[in-house]
Homo-oligomer: A and B are copies of this chain.
């Protein structure tokens, strides 16, 4: 095993000098520096990073906790990876599958100092448990959360959903079916948005059921079949996300229901599927959220952080409304 002492011995200097050369300190004789670099090259030496981490008390690794790869989480993770790399941090990804124990692994690695910080896209454990880990290192979340220990980069979906509803109204749709998700605390915001929307335009309560816990393509397909059986049909369906909207759209097309002729569909997220299927949807800048998350972590680690982005929703009008 070739270590710093070996290099020092061969170069005829002390380990301190070798260390200084490695870390680009000034005040090293040019000739000695050359000699040291020469030996390092000859022996193909690299500092052992466990030793460096131990000494510095930092690993420059940030953990990312996510339930799985979804069409909405992937862009966030990707953007986070890139910004972290630019700042010399590496990313360790934890797929928890919503399993508390797997999430604990990441939390425990923060505690044992294998991770400098953590960003939590979807949590499995209760917030108080996660908060109790904040004392071991900065944690930031993507979900809606108000906490003094855990900052969040969430966006209030009230605005985004309202954008979606206003679009439907402008297009002439009045009998709207809401399809809600269940993740995090977004659903209440959306319900509030619809209530305000219905009040603003004095829409009667038509008695459509509120559909909850809908988040997959398969869920969308089910709703399409449900729609077909109804006598009183909604004119438009506002979906919790693009996957549900995609399932809806493709199932409708299978059985010959025309979109948007017979019924309009609007999604949420603006993921790849929405682009592919020409779905009208609501876009939000998850890449900027990721960069904000990283900036916050960097700041809490006591390093100079880039400024935060402002975050805004945007309606993407395509051919399903």
Q: Which residues of A contact B (CB under 8 A)?
A: 46-51, 53-54, 59, 61, 68-69, 74, 77-78, 81-82, 85, 90-95, 102, 105, 108-109, 111-114, 217, 246-247, 250, 254, 272-273, 276-278
Contact = CB atoms under 8 A, between A and B. Distances in A.
A61 B109 CA distance: 12
Q: How many copies of the shown chain assemble into the complex?
A: 2
Contacts of A94: 90
23 contacts: A46-B108, A46-B112, A48-B54, A48-B113, A49-B112, A49-B113, A50-B50, A50-B113, A53-B53, A54-B54, A61-B92, A68-B78, A69-B69, A69-B78, A82-B95, A85-B102, A85-B105, A90-B92, A90-B105, A91-B92, A91-B93, A250-B277, A273-B276
B95 A48 contact: no
Contacts of A46: 108, 111-112
Nearest to A102: B85
A60 to B, nearest CB: 9
Contacts of A95: 78, 81-82
Contacts of A254: 278
Nearest to A60: B114
A90 B109 contact: yes
A77 B102 CA distance: 16
A114 B78 contact: no
Contacts of A113: 48-50
Nearest to A253: B253
A28 B133 CA distance: 31
Nearest to A106: B90
Contacts of A50: 50, 53-54, 59, 113-114
